A = this chain, B = another copy of it.
Amino acid sequence: MNTALTVETPAEEPCCEPSTAPALNAADAQESARILKALSDPSRLRLLSIVKAGDGGGTCVCDLTEPLHLGQPTVSHHLKILVDAGLLEREKRGTWAYYSLATGALERAAAMITGL
């Protein structure tokens, strides 16, 4: 809050330009943050890594629970967050649910960062 309310304004050197650039608006920032928030947890990063390393057929939850040392409900919860963020896709075959990377999702997330 520069140059305001004071009786007399010295204003010899206004620290810098008001930066009239539009930058990122609040709505876009919130949407981007929603995606990045899904990526900001170590357990979810490991889940993505395991799914990505798996073959194209998808990875089932039973093989995701053990390497993370997390309970099944917790893994299911993380997977839901990743699906809601558009990073993973879920396909149910019989009793099992298979997760696979949403095509281009990681690249889009990365572009959100470099394109700030």
- Whether A113 touches B39, Cβ cut-off 8 Å, given contacts A19-B50, A23-B50, A59-B16, is yes
A interface residue numbers (CB < 8 A to B): 1-2, 15-19, 21-24, 26, 29-30, 32-33, 36-37, 39-43, 45-46, 48-50, 52-55, 57-60, 62-63, 65-67, 95-96, 98, 106-107, 109-111, 113-114, 116
21 contacts between A and B (CB under 8 A): A1-B66, A16-B54, A17-B54, A19-B50, A19-B67, A21-B50, A21-B53, A23-B67, A24-B49, A26-B42, A29-B42, A29-B46, A32-B42, A33-B40, A33-B41, A33-B45, A36-B36, A36-B39, A37-B40, A39-B113, A107-B114
